[in-house]
Chain A
């Protein structure tokens, strides 16, 4: 095979990986602050994807623009979930939190199944078959737009945590729970905000992904797993790590699909996960905690 094919596949994997990274960023933010693993992460993403598809089919609105209201809707969902259900579980053992989120995930998948049925749905935009040529590299327009949008959203999120007061307050909660309480932060409300922000990330990523893949209700659990793989590879709780992990896993899957068989591609992602867990358990960019 000529070298250009590898390059093309790698670039396409990289762009998809950026969107994966944004999705995983949501998981990472939630875990980093609330210390709860969101086992309903992929399911929340499928909700966002169906929202994007409904908006597109009913009103012909582009998913890349609808990303903003969809992220808003998911923010509200995340905020309500944390404030109403998850906050009392923050101090409970892991298996108890796991059960709670699995129950939520089961409800989400099956409500989607009830409402939309099992058929795959997709968005057909006017630029669905456009592509750009950069020298020997040909890039799908949808993937390029989605990748760029993912970078913009991630940059906005970094700025929020770095510069805004609320962002700093949330980081304070993550660094030192007791300290945050002592200086008078409303930790439970900040947790709800954080879960909302994580959900908004996954909402934005979901609307972008509708450009790249078809959606069915059972996609949720698969993407929950994918988000875990990415986040742990990059470093659970590390924001740049999630993006890096997304790109790494996106490219690995794309190249493995080309070199071996597409059905075995996730095996490589899991193999990377196992290696990272064993040799660098804190993830590539994660900080080691004692």
Chain B
């Protein structure tokens, strides 16, 4: 199993992966608090991007409403913690099935009724918007006024309850991102990964070959939803406040899918590199605009939008395939 997973990785790649890992593990000891929050954000987006990538990059199902899974995960775990005092790790055991069930409903309706392509994308938006407005009216979780987790000034890191300082959250999200990466890597090398690629490339041909496309598309939606819910739980305990307007909003869904698309859809490193490039771009721009005294509302986003535009036009496959060619990581046949 291990041998199969590590086959086809060149020595050059191993060296780079090792260096990256050391850098990531050591980073908090050299970073100040500001830098640490940015690193957490990068890893968070890399993780959610990886989860979304399973659906779109691997199985070819374009979801534009992934915020619904983040939101369901976040609200489930937060409600359990606030109302029953149940910690996030146990909460995870509820949050993941809730999101998976939601994914299963959306997937079942869409795939059984033949909703595909653009229509599927818009169906996912519709569900997310439905949830957003719905949660605005659920008073059990604070409605539109927001849902807050109790916070205090922490000196001790309580890993079991995820209460503590940013450095703890950094290592938690780092572990999650690495786990997601390894999980996706294993998926791609397994039967299901090849089935997904077959479905992505040509669904009819895949079905003709005897692949139960409905079943594997459902698997993609549910795995992706469950993984995204984990990010939601992290979100709830890291930010300590949840507003339906923010958590479920379409801009959240877009934010979540920018990293894998910019980084390189369907690749393992794409989401991480996309998250890194986008977040550092955004933060650098904040600093630069501030330095030049040009920090009017909206100015940063205009430049951000222009940069996105340039990347989409210039690198249609994303950044990672281009970087890979540059670093010559591909093993020559």
Contacts and interface: CB of A to CB of B under 8 A. Distances in A.
B134 to A, nearest CB: 7
A109 interface: yes
Interface in A96-118: 96, 98-100, 102-107, 109-114, 117-118
A102 B309 CA distance: 9
Nearest to A272: B126
A107 B64 CA distance: 19
Given A263-B144, A267-B130, A110 B265 contact: no
A94 B110 CA distance: 18
A6 interface: no
A92 to B, nearest CB: 6
Interface string B250-287: 11001001100110010000000000000000000000
B26 interface: no
Contact of B122 (A100, A106, A109, A228): A228
Contacts, number: 125
Interface residues on A, range: 35 or more
A274 B126 contact: yes
A110 B126 contact: no
Interface in A130-185: none
B137 A264 contact: yes
Given A225-B125, A278-B113, A281-B113, A267 B133 contact: yes
A261 B109 CA distance: 28
Interface residues of B, number: 47
B265 A95 contact: yes
Interface in B47-70: 56, 62, 64
Contact of B121 (A92, A94, A107): A94
Given A98-B64, A118-B297, A281 B309 contact: no
Given A85-B313, A94-B121, A281-B115, A109 B261 contact: no
Interface of A: 31, 37, 85, 88, 92, 94-96, 98-100, 102-107, 109-114, 117-118, 217, 221, 225, 228-229, 232, 236, 261, 263-264, 266-267, 270-271, 273-274, 277-279, 281
Interface of B: 56, 62, 64, 109-110, 113-115, 117-119, 121-123, 125-127, 129-130, 133-134, 136-137, 144, 250-251, 254, 257-258, 261-262, 265, 296-302, 304-306, 308-309, 312-313, 316
Given A92-B316, A107-B309, A264-B137, 8 more contacts: A99-B258, A99-B308, A106-B301, A106-B305, A107-B302, A236-B119, A267-B133, A281-B114
